[in-house]
A and B are shown apart, each in its own frame.
Chain A
Amino acid sequence: MDVKSAITRARRGLREERRLYIVAVTSLAVAFLCLGATLLGVTNLDAAATRWGQSGRITLFLKDDADPQDIAQLRVVLEGLADVSNVTHVTPDEARASFLEEADVGADLSSLPPEVFPASLEVTLVRGVTRERSESIASRLAQFRAVSDVESYRSWFQKLDHLLWGARMLAVGLAVLVVFCVVAVIGNTIRLAVARRRQEIEVMKLCGATNGFVRGPFVLEGMFQGFASALLAVLALLAGYLSLHESVDGTLAALTGSRVVFLSVWTLVALLAGGALIGAIGSAMSVRRYLSV
């Protein structure tokens, strides 16, 4: 097949059918935008989860009547562990102060006495400790006499995992839906374009054009529509990201200590290439069906 001629004719086709194609590209861009936004959510959740997973923390709540000597001994043991990078002793006063600062709900809480807040040892693990390892450390530390309770934030991670799984499923579902939309919408516009160019197709067939020659431009036009929709969505997403990320970053950093990230280069490439590919497939299917040359 002569690619150069197909491109020339596809460009003419895009020019002649631009109204039809603009409508298709715009609606498909919205579909791609939904998918892109979901992927952006997944990317950020994933980044946050990875960050927290790596900066492991264990809180050892101490018994009110714990022997200071036991506590000191516990600290020595903890500091001797290779997985532990830092241990901080939080007294009830400190716990109360930091709670009141974070809670920030009003005066009635400030009447809470320090006794309500148990003393604790905040254990920071070295980077890269797996969650399983931190679980086993936590369960061993629970055996110590001074320890009343251990918080390894397991349920927290489970919740995050569930959220991440849900978001991923949503992305997969949306991706399937977008593929379906692209195939349907582009298939339909190409069907219309074929109908409008029926006369030209007939002339080319009479002059001895092969199937590939007649179909080539339509496939390219579909491919272009898929690509343009994905590109439009990516640009809109990028514009949204650039205008919002600074204000969101501040809040997020305070809440979770992580920053907003944009889609990875590979995700972007996959979106654009996927758009082009599905567009080409959609139009090829349509042309096969409606253009029996």
Chain B
Amino acid sequence: MQGTKVVRPFPFFRAGARASQPQLAKPILVLEDVYKFFRPDQPTLRGVNLSVERGEFAFITGPSGAGKSTLLKLIYRELGVDEGRVLFCGRDIARLTDKSIPFLRRNLGIVFQDFRIIDHWTAYENVAVALEILSMPQRLVRSRVAEALERVGLAGRGAERTSNLSGGEKQRVAVARAIVPEPALILADEPTGNLDPHLAIDILTLFEEINTTGTTVLFATHDHSLISKRDHRLISIDEGRVVEAQHGLKQWPGSGIHTLVG
């Protein structure tokens, strides 16, 4: 990598040894009294408070239209908050300038329901794009993309055009793209929404494996069959507020699953 400029203005945002001790001790993500209005009279998020520790795996759930996607968009700065603060690694990202947003996103891995991979590119190209924007040397890109494809179970299939892949495989390519820059935090917005139940479990397991290497994962879903199979922390958004349970549905404080997903 010597002699090549790799743009990484917030090195301490990355998972691993680069973060300083005090940084590691703090939560990776903190939302303080966050409000988001799409209509002046009816806020989608009203006073959301949330703290996510480094290395956590958390489900974000809630009925359709509750604001799960909105919450994630505030974190990857597709949207800005109307009130409150969003601290990522101790920095307030709610008021980043437009110029700084790309540098925030280099520390995040984002996965969507609709995969968002380029059909006429190969699997390799779809994953490599996340490293190419960092001006990483090709040699390094090749080895890291191969490694990422292996981690998602697509070893040796980099040369295939993604239009020929199945839905589950496409989502694996998208996951590989999200993890290849070794982000500190992964945001998954209903990543299993377009997949069969057994494929959904596979993808969930994949995210859990990624989580065991120290990457924080926020997994938005309204699929309670998926949630009920695991004991992860549960963050539910309802009527613009957050209700939480530390260990899955068993400990859910309300009157069962209906308050959870409507």
Q: How many residues of B contact A (CB 8 A)?
A: 23
Type the 1/0 row for A1-18, where 1 means its CB is closer than 8 Å to any CB of B.
010010000000000100
Q: Are B132 and A203 in contact (CB-based, < 8 A)?
A: no
Contact B106 A207 (CB under 8 A): yes
Interface residues of B in 123-140 (CB under 8 A from A): 126, 129-130, 132-135
Q: Is A206 on the interface with B (CB-CB < 8 A)?
A: yes
Q: In A158-214, which residues have CB < 8 Å from any B CB?
A: 199-200, 202-211, 213
> Chain A interface mostly helix, strand, loop or mixed?
helix
Q: Are B129's CB and A207's CB within 8 A?
A: yes
Whether B117 is near chain A, meaning CB under 8 Å from some CB there, is: yes
Find A204's partner among B7, B110, B120, B133 (CB 8 Å cutoff). B133
CA distance A279 to B105 in the complex (A): 32
For B8, give the chain A residue with the smallest CB separation: A208
**In the complex, what distance in Å separates the CA atom of A213 from the CA atom of B103?**
13
By a CB distance below 8 angstroms, the chain A residues around B118 are 199-200, 203
Q: What residues of B have a CB within 8 angstroms of the CB of A5 in the complex? A: 132, 135
**Chain A hits for B181, CB < 8 A:** 207
Closest CB in chain B relative to A153 CB, distance in Å: 67
Decide yes or no: A208 and B135 within 8 Å by CB, A199-B116, A203-B117 being known contacts: no
Say yes or no for B102: interface residue by CB 8 A criterion: yes
From known contacts A199-B116, A200-B118, A203-B118, infer whether A208 and B132 are also in contact, taking CB-CB under 8 Å: no
Q: Which residues of A contact B104 (CB under 8 A)?
A: 208
Query: A204 CA to B116 CA in the complex, in Å?
Result: 11
Q: Which residues of A contact B54 (CB under 8 A)?
A: none
Per the bound structure, the CA–CA distance linking A206 and B129 in Å amounts to 11
A202 adjacent to B135 (CB under 8 Å) = no
Residues of B within 8 A of A205 (CB): 102, 105
A210 contacts B102, C-beta separation under 8 Å:
yes
The reply to whether B133 and A207 contact each other, CB–CB distance below 8 Å, is: yes
Complex contacts, A2 vs chain B, CB 8 Å:
135
A207 to B130, Cβ gap below 8 A? Answer: yes
Closest chain A CB from B132 CB (angstroms): 6
When the two chains form their complex, are residues A203 and B105 in contact, meaning their CB atoms are under 8 A apart? no
Q: Which residue of B lies closest to A203 (CB)?
A: B116
In the complex, how many angstroms separate the beta carbon of A259 from the nearest chain B beta carbon?
54
Closest to A9 in B: B132
> Are A203 and B129 in touch, CB under 8 angstroms?
yes
Residues of B near A211 (CB, < 8 A) are 99
